[in-house]
Amino acid sequence: MIDLKLETLHLRSFSEGITPMSGATILVADDESVARELISNYLARDGHSLHTATNGVECLRLAREILPDLILLDVMMPTMDGLETCRRLRIDPLLGEVPVLIISTLDDRNSRLAGIAAGADDFLTKPIDSLELRVRVQSIVRMNRYRKLHEGRRELETAYIALQQAYDTTIVGWSRALDLRDQETEGHSQRVTEMTVRMAQAIGMSDDDIVHVRRGSLLHDVGKLGIPDAILHKPGPLSPEEWVIMHKHPEYAYEWLTPIEYLRPALDIPYCHHEKWDGSGYPRGLAGIAIPLAARIFAFADVWDALRSDRPYRAGWPIQRVRDHIANLAGSHFDPDITPTFLALHEMDV
């Protein structure tokens, strides 16, 4: 007698220790009103929202309306039994992933296999033990929520990738528009971007940093949208006053891109690509390693492509002449420590 009391206390303590899974929507399908009420009362203790159906047809209709987190199906029901209902749930595009707990008076192996074959996730026999029911429901609901969380995370990751691709497509479009505005440099943005990315990879920059390097390279001259055409397209040399205006384009880039959160990490190149190692560049006169690394490696590609390209006032330089020019500017225009890396990357260019 003492052992029975201890067992009762143990079960009560375990039952009261069940962590409530509040918020789960559960559909109970059973043709017996007493069974429906009993199950509903048991599960209501844990904060679940209960809905009931008296047969399989009603269950399917109600399930499409409320989209439950779990369905409890009695096997023996009129009109449509629980096994057939479960099979129809599994082929329904809207309900195919909803967990199903089969409840039956039969506890033999064949009955369990029939339930599993119909698509059930678990099997419970009558008479129903309240504690076992609550624990099994809790377990199924928890697993279903984890599955939904996992699926939601995958969907979020997919949406994020699509958004990033849309961003990058937009940036490429901007860079092409910039090149088209200045026909002398058509294709320049794409070429310097490819060279800069190669350089970034060669010196061991991380993939995450290279993403920003690529974006910054494509947008390096976005600030020139603020430069009047009369200055940007002037066929002859610029006057001192015009150079003052031209030198503002990195500042324009900074002002325009800073409010765009995802482009802030890419600002180093649009803002600092005209800085020089010896401090003689603009707009801030930065020197040495105070110049962001991304801007330092971009400077090589920018000068290389400018000198290699034909202009109305001169032909593009041969490769060796450009190589010699860049080598001679190591320590004044360019970072002397990474100049050999850039030249080595273009050693085989013809």
Residue 150 neighbours by CB under 8 Å, 6+ apart: none
Span of 117-131, 167-181, 324-338 with lowest mean pLDDT: 167-181
pLDDT in tens, 21-51: 457 899 999 999 999 999 999 999 888 999 9
pLDDT band for 282, please (50, 70, 90 cuts): very high
Are 58 and 74 within 8 A, CB to CB? no
Span of 195-209, 223-237, 272-286 with lowest mean pLDDT: 223-237
350, pLDDT greater than 60: no
What pLDDT, on a 0 to 100 scale, did the predictor assign at position 6? Answer: 34
What is the rounded CA–CA span in Å between residue 56 and residue 77? 7
Which two tokens mark 109? 């192996």
5, pLDDT greater than 50: no
Orientation angle between helical segments 56-66 and 82-90, nearest 10 degrees: 40
The identity of residue 258, as a single letter, is: T
What is the rounded CA–CA span in Å between residue 197 and residue 187? 16
Q: Which of 5, 126, 148, 224 is catalytic?
A: 224
Average pLDDT over residues 65-87: 92
Q: Using CA of residue 217, residue 218, residue 219, residue 225, what is the dihedral sign?
A: positive
DSSP bridge pairs for 122:
101
Are 210 and 217 within 8 A, CB to CB? no
Average pLDDT over residues 61-87: 92
157, pLDDT greater than 70: yes
What pLDDT, on a 0 to 100 scale, did the predictor assign at position 13? Answer: 39
Average pLDDT over residues 274-280: 96
| 3-state DSSP percent of the chain in helix, strand and coil, to 5 | 60, 10, 30
Q: Is the fold of 2-153 the same as that of 182-345?
A: no
The residue behind tokens 């910039």 is 178
Are 217 and 199 within 8 A, CB to CB? no
What pLDDT, on a 0 to 100 scale, did the predictor assign at position 68? Answer: 93
Q: Where are the domains of the chain?
A: 2-153, 182-345
0.85 exceeded by pTM? no
119, pLDDT greater than 80: yes
Average pLDDT over residues 119-147: 86
Average pLDDT over residues 167-181: 75
What pLDDT, on a 0 to 100 scale, did the predictor assign at position 15? Answer: 44
Three-class secondary structure of residue 8 per DSSP: helix
Are 39 and 30 within 8 A, CB to CB? yes
The question of whether 224 is a catalytic residue gets the answer yes
Q: Which secondary-structure segment (H or E) carries 293?
A: helix 293-308
Class of domain 182-345: mainly alpha
pLDDT in tens, 215-254: 999 999 899 889 898 888 887 788 999 999 999 999 999 9
184, pLDDT greater than 80: no
Are 26 and 66 within 8 A, CB to CB? no
Which two tokens mark 205? 């920059």
CATH code for the structural domain at 2-153: 3.40.50.2300
What is the rounded CA–CA span in Å between residue 305 and residue 133? 73
Instruction: Provide, rounded to the nearest whole percent, the portion of the chain with pLDDT above 70.
Output: 90
